[in-house]
Structure 1
Amino acid sequence: MNAPTVPVLQVHQLTKSVQLEDEVLHILESVELTINPSESVAIVGPSGSGKSTLLSLLAGLDQPSSGSIELMGKPFHDLSEDGRAAARAGTVGFVFQNFQLLPALTALENVMLPLELQGARDAEAKARHFMDEVGLGHRLNHQPGRLSGGEQQRVAIARAFATQPALLFADEPTGNLDSANSQKVEDLLFKLNAEFGTTLVLVTHDRELAKRCQRTLVLDNGTLVEAAHASTGA
């Protein structure tokens, strides 16, 4: 008999509120969420619904007002900032809408950086492999400013997957790309999600992108509900 699978993320009664001058603004209320290994999950909702706030909480970039978050079966929400950073290291990767590449480094060096921070001895070889995976083995020595937006996002994906994280957060990963590059980036995310078994959690306004995920969660008025749809697959 197989051992029970520990969820990658387990969220219980998660709440986020902020104090304004004359009132308390409730951004998230009593969110319940379980995300299992290798799943692909989209979080959608209208602007201002709290999607980015929820992603920041799940990633440990912010702390909830109340409730709990477990990462890989261990309490995550109540750790110090340094403790959350240590828990993320080697476990969590990120892809952002604005790429977040270091402009002074080459594409290869950008991908090597998280590997070097982990102390990987074969950082360059791994980085080259993942640059090949995203189809940019011929652009290793180009700085981000010499790459198109689509190429920069592919470098960012290579960087995110290079440490082979258990969990990848993607915040509007195609938000700054044209339709052709959006399609390439989407295909790449789901290809690598399947190839490496990485759990993918993405925030998007793009309902077509969301439909490619196994599950879609809709955030509205601070409440998270699961949408019914048939996944189209990668």
Structure 2
Amino acid sequence: MIEASSINKTVNTSAGSLCILDDINLAVAEGEALAIVGPSGSGKSTLLGILAGLDLPSSGQVKINGEDLTTMDEEGRAAIRARYVGFVFQSFHLLPSLTALENVALPLELRGDRDALVMATEYLQRVGLGERLSHYPRQLSGGEQQRVALARAFASQPKILFADEPTGNLDTATGEAINDLLFQLNAEAGTTLVLVTHEQVLANRCHRRITLQAGCIVDTETAGRVAAG
């Protein structure tokens, strides 16, 4: 589903060239849940962004479902993201002027789904926010906002879901509930999941995890996925 070959990422700084990713080779199978772990500054979020087509590597190749993102312009990559990809971020990225229902429905409406409001309502009910449809983000707790973000991601029925520290801004109890919901929805939809996390418990719930250090993959291991619940 995802193939990354010889990925390198360097940026120019006042001190010279800085290597963020160094010769990353990675394949993620359809339906697999992969955790990317490692210390802060190891390149995790940069790798996630490149795999998702949000950023380009300095060299190397990334393919999603056989289509080479690195040969496309931004319009082409955006079309691939619209076709295959959903996102959940640590900071929620909800539009403050839209209700929960409108935030979830918007991506569906933009791609022309006629039943966008029906789908949005269904997924908000599935994440336990059926009574919060007309609430704005400022009227929701952090955990509720992340539930809206999950509903928005899964309502689009993506083939691949990228999650960057999805519970990083939540307290422990709320984070655990969100994790359960993430894996429950993931299992039901058969989605390929790629997530960045500092939480070993969350990483252990994936099929496999890779560890980055100083931009290199230093370890790969099967995590032995634990059922949601």
The interval holding the TM-score normalised by the smaller chain is over 0.9
| 1:116-173 deviation line (CA, Å, top 9, x unaligned) | 0110000011111101111111110000100110000000000001110000000000
Distance in structure 1 (CA, Å) of the matches to 2:132 and 2:224: 37
TM-score, normalising length: structure 2: 0.96
Q: Which amino acid aligns with 1:89?
A: A
For the residue of structure 2 that corresponds to 1:210, the secondary structure is helix
The answer on 1:180 being equivalent to 2:173 is: yes
Q: Out of 196, 220, 229, which is 1:226 matched to?
A: 220
Q: Secondary structure at the match of 1:27?
A: strand
The answer as to 2:32 corresponding to 1:50 is no
Which residue number in structure 1 is paired with residue 93 of structure 2?
A: 100
Look up the SS of the partner of 1:77 in the other structure.
helix
Distance in 1 (CA, whole Å) between partners of 2:47 and 2:100 is: 30
Correspondence for 1:146 among 139, 148, 154? 139
**SS of residue in 1 equivalent to 2:72:** coil
In percent, how many aligned pairs have the same letter?
56
Q: Matched residues in 2 for 1:63 and 1:24: separation?
A: 17
Partner Cα distance (1:134, 1:168) in 2: 17
RMSD of aligned residue pairs (Cα, Å): 1.0
Select 1:33's aligned residue among 15, 26, 35. Answer: 26
Give how far 1:78 is off.
2.2
Contact 1:214–1:233 at 8 Å: present in 2 too? no
CA distance in 1, matches of 2:224, 2:96: 40
2:113 is matched with which residue?
120
Q: Aligned to 1:137, which of 123, 130, 135?
A: 130
Aligned length: 227
1:9, 1:82 → 2: CA distance? 19
Q: Please give the alpha-carbon distance, in whole angstroms, between the structure 2 residues aligned to 1:109 and 1:41.
A: 30
Question: Structure 2: which amino acid aligns with 1:60?
Answer: G
SS in 2 for 1:153: helix
The range that moved more, 81-90 or 165-174, is 81-90
Over 3 Å counting, the alpha-carbon distance change for 1:22 and 1:148 in structure 2 is closer
Counterpart-to-counterpart distance in 2, 1:134 and 1:232: 20
1:79 has 2:72 as partner: yes
CA contact (8 A) 1:57 1:64 kept: yes
2:82 aligns with 89
Is the contact between residue 211 and residue 229 of structure 1 (CA under 8 Å) also seen in structure 2? yes
- Distance in 2 (alpha carbons) for counterparts of 1:230 and 1:119: 39
Give 1:169's aligned residue.
162
